[in-house]
């Protein structure tokens, strides 16, 4: 069997490079990261004629080989480094038929590296509508290269591309442009100093903005026979190079590329006028946002309920089927609960990315960036921060992932750091139950106090995000150029296949990336909650059973009976049986509660009680707050376990919480002061290990998630403390 | 005061003369924003910034601070008022 052909797919953003990749590889692709950095690495296998296979690497989109970001330098490094295992045997430059001139700039640069290069002219289906004609044969001759005219929408031209790849050995390797004419002496001295290397390659290494390939950099600095130029001199030369290339391209296109001006324009201009209008632009954006919210809250509720139900019954099944013991408990309460905690987020993440992908594919996203940039700038954010901040109201995890489009590292970092302040959907169950408990009935201007409270919590989340962005903007000393050049691509109908791939890929990346950490921590939490060293823990069954026999059921169990008997008394005959069953369940719940109290987790809760007491909480709430660091929505479930009521019975939990008395003040534990304090704590604290895991992944350092954890939690503590002490 | 891209009104066109700042991002040039090329102001964002231009067939949005460094000669005065 012959060796696989290494193919690198490269091209400007918005040329449909990903569609070409999808067409070549089908579902035969995998997404990972380049070692050590968070740049996405997409690769796949493509079957070629005559049984040959090609390994296709989809390089990050770039406008040229003059890199300004980490993503782009990955592409350049691969093209320059012959020793890299992925170094391409053949490069495919994907271009868009309407922007061929600009796309050819990158093409001529790659060609000049003497790598066999195929030009793909994509979106051929738009040619007739736009009045474009191309003399392909002449263009092939002028560029000394093979061209495939492709339409990924109509699925044409891909076969020819496969043929060309298989036949890569016959492609020409001649250069198109002689760069040395921009500074003949300088290039001559380069050639003299490094006779073995190609001068164009050396030139590229010297002019990179992003430091990469440390070896080659030092190699060039260490010579005495030629002096490097200053940064601005190099910049000027790069400008000259760009002009030189455009001269070459313009000359060629004059003979081969014709566009009938009358056929163009129209649609785009009209749509732009409406979508970036100073009033309608914002109204339309707002309506789109509403739809997205509705999808994330409303539509994902059904699949989420199904998932929840599935994991609940799976847990039951495991407990019933496997022999009781530590191992069964680990599977049922540690592993299954952990996996359930990951899977439950999939519908929301999928919906969010579905919308983001749709907005990006159509070209609308650039218009949002355009509309919002000036508004976001005073806060150290960019127009591109809008999408992550809005996504954060569903879930911070995909939101942090969505910051990848921000090229300016400082703006991106600030966006990542402040996004978790926005009110994510996991906070909602906590808010709802506490608001129902402590906020009084009544209304103001026709809006109930409860609704107003919920709304102010959302506003406070946004406020905290914006405020901390301002602070971070002041204190973060990161040198980064104000760099804002956003291409406004033409409007397109989205290709459903591409949208589908994006949703699949992002969801997978969440499940396998952050998922591992969520699973690990939930197993640790399970261990801490179900193990203990004291005699009380070990003899929980006997102690609680004896207590119940002597003193009767606890107050909480009595409430449990009351709420449940109302339902069963209607059926007189089975009343006694029902009572027996209820008592068994109440006993089991009391044992579970007693065990938790004396587990490691229980001792931890008691240990932190002095810390949380000034906020108006007791050790039980302390435990719930601690376990909430796994995921906020765990709060309700943990309290249910501690108060020994069934997990799924929200009304009972609420009644039970209302009955809880603070032993120190003899007032209800959940009153206005402690309730508001809890709400504020949950609004601001960084209680989500999944988000921390994703931030670690995106910033490639534990420094930033650790900072988030400390700063946000401290801030939450102080705000909650002030609120409780004032309202007490 | 030199006329720059920031002075264009909607619908107005000009020919780029030079850059008054050396360290403009090279990306701008690669997109076709080069001396000698035609530039048209397509749209201005509601708060006057950023601006949306068509240069050499590329539609791009840039911030006003960057537009101030691109000097040009206005060629057509058909601004939309």
Contacts B32 to A, Cβ<8 Å: 101-102, 246
**pLDDT in the model for residue A99:** 87
Interface contact B26-A68, CB threshold 8 A? yes
Q: What is the pLDDT of residue A599?
A: 86
pLDDT over 70, % of chain A: 88
**Average pLDDT, stretch A208-221?**
51
Give the pLDDT of residue A552: 77
Between residues A204 and A405, the one the model is more confident about: A204
Predicted TM-score (pTM) of the model is: 0.72
Higher pLDDT, A221 or A162: A162
CA B24/CA A122 separation, integer angstroms = 30
Contact A371 B45 (CB under 8 A): yes
CB-based contact B46 A281, cutoff 8 Å: yes
B58: closest CA of chain A, how far (Å): 7
Give kind and range of the element (H or E) at residue A147: strand A146-149
As a whole number, mean pLDDT of residues A488-497 equals 86
Q: What is d(CA A259, CA A126) in angstroms, rounded to the nearest whole number? A: 12
What does R_g of chain B's alpha carbons equal in angstroms?
A: 11
Among B27, B43, B66, select the one facing A276 at the smallest CB separation. B43
B51: contact with A, CB 8 A cutoff: no
- Could you give the 3-state DSSP secondary structure of residue A444? strand
Q: Does A565 touch chain B (CB under 8 A)?
A: no
Q: How far from A103 is each of A119, A249, A274, A315, B58, CA to CA, in Å?
A: 10, 10, 29, 56, 11
pLDDT digits (tens, 9 = 90+) for A434-472: 888 888 888 787 778 888 888 889 889 999 999 999 999
Q: Within an 8 Å CB–CB cutoff, is residue A264 touching chain B?
A: no
Does pLDDT of A35 surpass 70?
no
Cβ atoms of residues A13 and A103 within 8 Å? no
Give me Rg for the CA atoms of chain A: 31
Mutate to test the interface with A, among B5, B32, B44, B59 (most CBs of A within 10 A): B59
pLDDT of residue A36: 56
Please answer yes or no on whether B34 and A99 come within 8 Å at the CB atom: no
Locus of tokens 């760009």: A242
Asked if the peptide bond before residue B50 counts as cis, ω within 30 degrees of 0, the response is yes
Is A126 an interface residue toward B (CB < 8 Å)? Answer: no
Closest approach of chain A CAs to the CA of B25, in angstroms? 7
- Tell me whether B11 touches chain A (CB under 8 Å): no
Cβ of B60 under 8 Å from any chain A Cβ?
yes
> Where are chain A's structural domains?
5-170, 179-251, 532-598
Cα pseudo-dihedral A681, A684, A689, A694, rounded to 10: 170
A613 vs A191, which has greater pLDDT? A613
CB A480 within 8 A of CB A68: no
Residue A212: per-residue pLDDT: 44
**B50·A98 Cβ contact <8 A:** no
Most confident of A97-106, A399-408, A577-586: A97-106
Mean pLDDT throughout A331-344?
A: 77
CB contact under 8 A, B42 and A370: no
Mean pLDDT comparison of A293-307, A466-480, A557-571, A646-660, highest-scoring range: A466-480
- At residue A214, the pLDDT reads 42
Residue-wise pLDDT tens digits, A712-722: 999 999 999 99
Q: What is the mean pLDDT of residues A671-684?
A: 93
What pLDDT was estimated at residue A514?
62
CA of A278 to nearest chain B CA: how many angstroms apart? Answer: 5
Of B30, B34, B48, which is closest to A64 when you measure between CB atoms? B30
Question: Contact, A373 vs B45, CB < 8 A?
Answer: yes
* Residue of chain B nearest A109, judged by CA positions: B30
Is B63 in CB contact (< 8 Å) with chain A? yes
Residue of chain B minimizing CA distance to A264: B57
User: What rounded mean pLDDT belongs to chain A?
Assistant: 82
What is the distance, to the nearest Å, from the Cα of residue A196 to the centroid of all Cα atoms in its chain? 45
Give the per-residue pLDDT at A263: 56
The answer to whether residue A240 neighbours chain B at the CB level (below 8 Å) is no
- Tell me the pLDDT tens digit for each residue of A241-293: 888 999 899 899 988 988 876 655 677 888 888 898 889 999 998 888 788 76
A385 touches A302 (CB < 8 A): no
The pLDDT of residue A534: 81
Q: Does B30 touch chain A (CB under 8 A)?
A: yes
How many Å apart are CA A241 and CA A179, to the nearest integer?
7
Contact A370 B61 (CB under 8 A): yes
CB contact under 8 A, B61 and A68: no
Residue A186 pLDDT = 85
- Residue A568: the pLDDT is 46
A610 C-beta neighbours (distance < 10 Å), count: 10
B23 touches chain A (CB under 8 A): yes
Q: Which residues of B touch A483 (CB under 8 A)?
A: 25, 27
Per-residue confidence (pLDDT) for residue A51, from 0 to 100: 84
Using a CB-CB distance cutoff of 8 angstroms, which residues of chain A are in contact with residue B47? 374-375
The confidence score (pLDDT) of residue A656 equals 73
CB contact under 8 A, B50 and A246: no
> What is the dihedral sign for C-alpha A690, A695, A698, A702?
negative
Q: Is the pLDDT of residue A328 over 60?
A: yes
Region A366-384: mean pLDDT is: 89
Decide if B21 touches A, using CB distance below 8 A. no
A570: confidence class by pLDDT, cuts 50, 70, 90: very low
- Top CATH class of A5-170 equals alpha beta
B40 and chain A: CB distance < 8 Å anywhere? no
The pLDDT score that the predictor gives to residue A1 is 43
What local confidence, expressed as pLDDT, does residue A569 receive? 45
Q: Residue B44, SS3? A: strand
- Domains belonging to chain B, first-starting first, are 5-76 (2.30.30.90)
Q: What is the pLDDT of residues B31-57, one digit of tens each?
A: 888 888 889 998 898 888 899 999 888
Mean pLDDT across chain B, nearest whole number? 84
Query: How many whole angstroms separate alpha carbon A622 and alpha carbon B75?
Result: 71
Query: Would you give the DSSP letter of residue A493?
Result: P
**Half-sphere exposure of residue A73: CA atoms within 13 angstroms, side-chain side:** 16
pLDDT exceeds cutoff 60 at A38: no
Which pLDDT score is estimated for A511?
76
Query: How many angstroms separate the CA atoms of A251 and A243, rounded?
Result: 12
Binned at pLDDT 50, 70 and 90, residue A213 comes out as: very low
Confidence of residue A575 (pLDDT cuts 50, 70, 90): low
The answer to whether the Cβ–Cβ distance between A101 and B56 falls below 8 Å is: yes
B32 at A interface, C-beta within 8 A? yes
Classify A197 in phi/psi space as left (phi over 0), alpha (psi -120 to 50) or beta: beta
Q: Is A443 on the interface with B (CB under 8 A)?
A: no
A269 touches chain B (CB under 8 A): yes
| pLDDT of residue A132 exceeding 80 | yes
How much is the average pLDDT of A331-338? 78
| Chain B residues with beta carbon closer than 8 angstroms to that of A102 | 30-32, 56-58
Pairs across A and B, CB distance < 8 A: 114
């Amino acid at each position: 069997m012959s060796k696989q052909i290494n193919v690198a797919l490269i091209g400007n953003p918005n040329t449909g490079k990903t569609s070409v990749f999808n067409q070549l590889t089908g579902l035969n692709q995998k997404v990972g990261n380049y070692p050590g950095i968070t740049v996405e690495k997409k690769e796949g296998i493509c079957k070629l004629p005559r049984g040959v296979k090609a390994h296709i690497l989809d390089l990050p989109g770039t406008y040229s080989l003059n890199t300004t970001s980490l993503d782009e330098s990955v592409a350049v490094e691969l093209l320059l480094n012959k020793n890299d295992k992925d170094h391409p045997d053949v490069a495919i430059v994907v271009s868009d038929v309407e922007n061929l001139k600009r796309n050819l700039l990158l093409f001529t640069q790659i060609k000049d590296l003497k790598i066999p290069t195929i030009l793909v002219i994509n979106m051929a289906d738009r040619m007739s509508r736009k009045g474009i004609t191309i003399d392909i044969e002449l263009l092939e001759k002028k560029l000394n290269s093979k061209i495939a005219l492709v339409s990924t929408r109509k699925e044409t031209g891909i076969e020819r591309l496969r043929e060309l790849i298989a036949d890569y050995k016959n492609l020409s390797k001649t250069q198109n442009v002689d760069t040395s004419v921009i500074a003949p002496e300088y290039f001559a001295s380069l050639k003299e100093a490094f006779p073995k290397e190609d001068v164009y390659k050396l030139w590229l290494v010297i002019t990179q903005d992003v430091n990469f390939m440390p070896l080659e950099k030092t190699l060039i600095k260490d010579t005495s026979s030629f002096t490097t130029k200053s940064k601005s001199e190099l910049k000027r030369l790069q400008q000259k190079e760009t002009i030189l290339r455009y001269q070459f391209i313009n000359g060629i296109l004059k003979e081969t590329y014709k566009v009938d001006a009358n056929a163009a324009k129209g649609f785009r201009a009209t749509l732009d006028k409406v979508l970036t209008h100073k009033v309608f632009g914002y109204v339309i954006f707002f309506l789109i946002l509403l739809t997205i919210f509705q999808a994330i809250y409303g539509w994902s509720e059904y699949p989420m309920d199904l998932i929840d139900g599935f994991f609940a019954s799976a847990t039951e099944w495991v407990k019933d089927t496997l022999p009781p013991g530590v191992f069964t408990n680990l599977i049922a309460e540690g592993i299954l609960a952990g996996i359930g905690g990951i899977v439950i987020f999939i519908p929301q993440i999928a919906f969010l990315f579905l919308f983001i992908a749709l907005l990006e594919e159509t070209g609308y996203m650039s218009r949002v960036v355009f509309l919002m940039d000036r508004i976001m700038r005073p806060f150290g954010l960019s127009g591109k921060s809008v999408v992550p901040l809005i996504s954060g109201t569903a879930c911070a995890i995909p939101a942090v992932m969505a910051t990848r489009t921000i090229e300016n590292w400082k703006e991106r970092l600030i966006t990542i750091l402040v996004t978790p302040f926005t009110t994510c959907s996991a906070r909602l169950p906590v808010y709802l139950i506490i608001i129902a408990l402590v906020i009084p009935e009544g209304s103001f201007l026709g809006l109930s106090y409860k609704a107003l409270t919920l709304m102010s919590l959302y506003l406070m989340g946004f406020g905290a995000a914006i405020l901390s962005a301002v602070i971070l903007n002041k204190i973060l000393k990161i040198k980064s150029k104000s760099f804002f050049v956003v291409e406004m691509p033409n409007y397109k109908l989205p290709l459903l296949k591409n949208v589908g791939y994006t949703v699949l890929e992002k969801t997978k990346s969440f499940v396998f990336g952050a998922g591992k950490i969520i699973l690990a921590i939930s197993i640790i939490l399970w261990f801490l909650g179900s193990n203990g060293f004291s005699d009380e823990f070990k003899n929980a069954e006997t102690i609680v059973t004896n207590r119940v026999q002597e003193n009767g059921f606890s107050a909480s169990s009595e409430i449990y009976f009351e709420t449940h008997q109302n339902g069963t008394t209607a059926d007189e005959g089975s009343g006694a049986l029902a009572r027996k069953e209820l008592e068994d369940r109440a006993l089991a719940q009391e044992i579970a509660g007693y065990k938790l109290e004396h587990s490691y987790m229980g001792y931890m809760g008691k240990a932190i009680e002095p810390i949380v007491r000034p906020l108006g909480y007791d050790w039980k709430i302390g435990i719930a707050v601690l376990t909430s660091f796994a995921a906020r929505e765990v709060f309700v479930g943990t309290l249910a376990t501690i108060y020994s009521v069934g997990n799924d019975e929200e009304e009972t939990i609420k009644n039970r919480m209302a009955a809880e008395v603070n032993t120190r003040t003899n007032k209800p534990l959940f009153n206005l002061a402690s309730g508001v304090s809890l709400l504020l704590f949950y609004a601001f604290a960084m209680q989500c290990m999944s988000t921390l895991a994703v931030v670690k992944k995106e910033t490639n350092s534990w420094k930033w998630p650790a900072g988030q954890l400390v700063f946000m939690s401290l801030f939450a503590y102080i705000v909650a403390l002030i609120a409780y002490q004032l309202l007490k | 005061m030199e006329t720059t891209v920031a002075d264009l009104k909607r619908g107005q066109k000009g020919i780029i003369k030079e850059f008054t700042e050396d360290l403009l991002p090279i990306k701008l040039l690669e997109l076709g924003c080069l001396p000698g090329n035609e530039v048209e102001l397509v749209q201005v964002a509601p708060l006057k910034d950023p601006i949306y231009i068509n240069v050499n067939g590329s539609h791009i949005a840039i911030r006003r601070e960057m537009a101030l460094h691109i000097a040009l000669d206005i060629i057509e005065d058909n601004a939309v008022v």
